[in-house]
Amino acid sequence: MTAARKWHHIGLCVFCLDVILMWTLPALCGGEDDWQRFERRVRDEQISYEDGLKEIRCWWDVLQHAYFAERFDGRPFFPVKGYGLKHVGGRHGSGYRPSRYQFVGPNRRIGHPAQDIFVYDGNQDGLDDRTGKRVEILAVADGVVLSTCGEWTPELPSNGNRGGNYLWIYHPALRLFSYYAHLQDIRVALCERVAGGQVIATLGRTGTNAYPERSPTHLHLMLLRSRDMTPVNAYPLLAGIPD
């Protein structure tokens, strides 16, 4: 095969791959069985433990074929703009307590499989005490937004459950999902591809775990391994980010 013919063949393969992706993505974004719909069923406890495990395995296969890891950068970014590791709750990230947590099933509300990142908001108005502005939340790495919720209100506390307004982003290069809770405004759209360090939301005090006065203003950041949705401690990842 000549060099020209070889490169023509490679070009056709890449084109075919893009066509496959074009037909696969609707199943993830807006199709009858999209991932957001699955996440909502889990959140609202409308799916059995057994069916949930089956869907997790199914989605792992779909995600691998829809989003190729080599097309995304896995370089991590600190998710709260203007803040750093010292603002993570607990001593050296000890706030991470996964216990027997499960994404789906009877243990999904057990433990604290996340890191809370606290901001300067002494009067709890949702604004940074130093700037008087909303704190911006950044994507921890390149990824794709697979679920959004921005409808939480104090009058309807069950809407969005404990997390209030939140985002789920899948990071192909890391093989992780990131979950950002207690947000104010969502700045990205469902199915949008985001770059690491991109502004995806502003921080708020939404959700039954953040709205009460007893709760300091914070971002709830959870990482889940995408192949089985088990929790991963975000602290080592955050600690490895250069200042």
- Say yes or no: 52 and 75 in one domain: no
Q: What is the pLDDT of residues 107-151, one digit of tens each?
A: 998 999 999 999 999 999 999 999 999 999 999 999 999 999 998
- Residue 185: pLDDT over 60: yes
- Say yes or no: 234 and 128 in one domain: yes
Q: Residue 116 — φ and ψ, nearest 5°?
A: -100, 130
Q: Identify which has the larger pLDDT, 193 or 1.
A: 193
- Say yes or no: 152 and 197 in one domain: yes
- Say yes or no: 110 and 52 in one domain: no
Q: Would you place residue 154 in the very low, low, confident or very high pLDDT band (cuts 50, 70, 90)?
A: confident
Domain with 77 in it: 71-239
Domain end position, chosen among 69, 101, 125: 69
**129 CB-near residues (< 8 Å, 6+ apart):** 120, 121, 122, 123
Domain end position, chosen among 44, 69, 94: 69
Q: Which of 199, 207, 195, 198 is closest to 159 using CA atoms?
A: 207
- Say yes or no: 183 and 169 in one domain: yes
CATH code for the domain of 190? 2.70.70.10
Note whether 97 and 111 are within 8 A (CB).
yes
- Say yes or no: 113 and 20 in one domain: no
- Give the sign of the dihedral formed by CA 35, CA 36, CA 39, CA 44: negative
When divided into structural domains, the chain yields a total of 2
- Residue 16: pLDDT over 60: no
What pLDDT is recorded for position 157? Answer: 56
Percent of the chain exceeding pLDDT 90 equals: 77
